Structure 1
Amino acid sequence: MVARIRVLRPRPRFVAVPAPSPAPSSSRPSAVSSWDVWPVGVEWDEFRSLHIARCQQCADSFASSLAGEVDDWADTHHCDPEMAVLLALVTNRRAA
């Protein structure tokens, strides 16, 4: 059996947010990923036909075929503080 890897793409509600440009010489503002703005991202997995919410701080996730359920989970998610600290340590990020 051959494993398939499917790239998850952010849903349309996650749009690039223009970042403030430190140098006025730049003619175009640079884009900031939605992951830089929101710690919990919601994506559509076309292969499994599921909406998936994923927290980048504690690695918790939730999947459902109903977008509303996933949005509700993303809006009310609270990280496990111990897990967030441990993940920050092993990924060389600053502890939350």
Structure 2
Amino acid sequence: MRCCSARGCPIPSSAHCSAGCGRPPPRTPGSAGGLPPGWTSADKTGGGNHGTVNDAGVVWSPDGQPMVLAILSDSTTGDPDAPLEGGPVAETTAVLVDALFAVP
């Protein structure tokens, strides 16, 4: 795979190149990382410089109720080479699922 800069990508860090231009490394948990047992998901993660990590998709409860999620996160360091961390996306998913599917 060619490095990001070979494709004209503005991302300066070679850390992004191993996964492709602007894509987070493999094992970024994304929304699925925050789902309770029995839930399923179909999602697309992405990321870029400054530690930006995004995830959009649909998650389904064990009884088949769908919820559409679009979660965007960014590093607060201002460092263009900040690592891509999927934890905040998984944590946000867990909070949303808990709040929106809580039994009153």
- Structure number with greater Rg is 1
Structure with the bigger RCO (C-alpha within 8 Å, sep 6+) is 2
TM surpasses 0.5: no
